[in-house]
Each structure stands twice: as structure tokens, then as C-alpha cells.
């Protein structure tokens, strides 16, 4: 992906519009074509936990949650690392690892991408390739076709930076599922090789 280029690609939830992590002009362009308020942040998609750990800080409990729900349709808002903060001045960041082979391939090749749904702000996400192509083919660098099932529902977003986790957006994963795993995450781990 060339610097400052915007791409549209399918994920496991909805089609996404993405820019390189530190591409300020690209991000501003996304806000412009979506007519998205500048105070609404954009989440980051990662291909692996290793990518995510470079951007946000995981407590032991939050790491257990990530290992349970990722890859999948749940976005965690977490405190940023000092390195990411020094470049962006963002104290918190929403991150997710999607469960879609093409998305993961794109993220492995290009690194984490700031990604938002393909639509005008406050309108339903677009998920039909031909509709998206007709609207955006002359506005972005590349639009990928989808050959895998997608939920067509945006991910659940949960803020883990507060004392009590807060659901910021409801998707397919419910508050009950998250609360259940939070309780389990407080228990001692047994032979968790990934947590070592």
C-alpha cells in the first residue's frame, strides 16, 4: 500500500476504510469523505497481539479477555503505550484483531490500519461490493472484493480504561458475554502458555 493511500476492504464485521497508522493526511481525508466529526476517534485493526501490544497496554486481566475474544468482533479501548502516545498524543485507543483471512493478510503486509466503516457518518455501514465500488472507486486507491462471510454488524466496543468496563457500542458480542469473561479473567491462570 503506497503512503497516504486509502483502501476499502472486507472484515469479519463490516467493510472497512483504512489508512496507515500515522498517515495524518489520509486520516483527515477519511474524516472528510465520511463527513465524520473530528471528535469521533477511529479504531485500529491489528493482525496479531504483538502488533496490538506496540500500541496499547494490557493488564493481565485485559490480556486474558483479548486472548478469549480475538480474533473476533470485539474492540477494546485501552491506554496507549508511551511510544504511540509520543507520536499521536492519544491517551486511549480502540484496537481489534479481526477474524477474516483477507483482512489479516492486509494487516500483516501493511501493519496496523486506522479503520472505520464504509458509510456517511451516522448512516448504516455499506457491505455490498458493487454499491461501495460505485460510490468510492474514484475516491480511494483500492477496493477489495469479499469472498468470505461477514456479520454485517459493527463490532462491539468496550472501554476498559474505566473502573467499570463500559459498552460504547453494541455489536454481536453482548455485555453478558463480556462480564462473564471479566469474572473468569480474575481467576488464576492454569497452564496458559500464551500468557507466559
What is the residue extent of each domain of the chain? Answer: 7-185
pTM listed for this prediction: 0.91
- Write down the residue that cell numbers 496479531 correspond to: 48
CATH superfamily assigned to domain 7-185:
DHBP synthase (3.90.870.10)
> What per-residue confidence (pLDDT) applies to 3?
44
* pLDDT tens, per residue, the chain with 196 residues: 554 689 999 999 999 999 999 999 999 999 999 999 999 999 999 999 999 999 999 999 999 999 999 999 999 999 999 999 999 999 999 999 999 999 999 999 999 999 999 998 889 999 999 999 999 999 999 999 999 999 999 999 999 999 889 999 999 999 999 999 988 877 655 544 444 3
Measured CA to CA, the distance from residue 21 to residue 113 in angstroms comes to 5
Q: How far is CA 52 from the centre of its chain?
A: 10
Residue 136 pLDDT: 94
What whole-number distance in Å separates Cα of residue 66 and Cα of residue 168? Answer: 17
The pLDDT of residue 188 is 58
Tell me the HSE value of 49 on the side-chain side, using a 13 A CA sphere: 13
**Would you state the pLDDT for residue 4?**
60
Residue 125 is predicted with a pLDDT of 96
Answer yes or no: are the C-beta atoms of 35 and 135 closer than 8 Å.
Answer: no
Whole-number pLDDT of residue 176: 94
Q: What per-residue string of b and e applies to 159-177 under the rule 16 or more CB within 10 Å gives b?
A: bbbeeebeeeeebbbeeee
Amino acid at each position: 500500500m503506497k503512503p497516504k493511500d486509502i483502501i476499502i476492504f472486507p472484515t469479519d464485521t463490516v467493510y472497512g476504510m483504512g489508512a496507515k497508522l500515522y498517515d495524518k493526511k489520509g486520516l483527515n481525508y477519511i474524516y472528510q469523505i465520511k463527513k465524520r466529526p473530528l471528535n469521533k476517534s477511529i479504531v485500529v485493526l491489528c493482525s496479531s497481539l504483538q502488533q496490538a501490544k506496540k500500541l496499547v497496554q494490557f493488564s493481565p486481566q485485559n490480556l486474558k479477555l483479548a486472548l478469549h475474544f480475538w480474533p473476533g468482533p470485539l474492540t477494546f479501548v485501552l491506554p496507549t503505550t508511551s511510544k504511540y502516545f509520543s507520536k499521536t498524543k492519544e491517551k486511549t485507543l480502540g484496537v481489534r484483531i479481526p477474524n477474516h483471512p483477507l483482512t489479516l493478510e492486509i494487516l500483516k503486509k501493511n501493519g496496523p490500519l486506522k479503520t472505520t466503516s464504509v458509510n456517511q457518518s451516522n448512516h448504516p455501514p455499506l457491505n455490498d461490493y458493487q454499491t461501495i465500488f460505485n460510490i468510492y472507486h474514484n475516491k480511494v486507491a483500492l477496493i477489495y472484493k469479499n469472498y468470505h462471510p461477514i456479520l454485517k454488524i459493527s463490532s462491539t466496543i468496550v472501554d476498559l480504561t474505566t473502573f467499570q468496563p463500559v459498552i460504547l457500542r453494541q455489536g454481536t458480542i453482548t455485555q453478558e458475554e463480556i462480564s462473564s469473561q471479566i469474572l473468569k479473567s480474575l481467576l488464576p491462570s492454569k497452564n496458559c502458555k500464551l500468557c507466559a
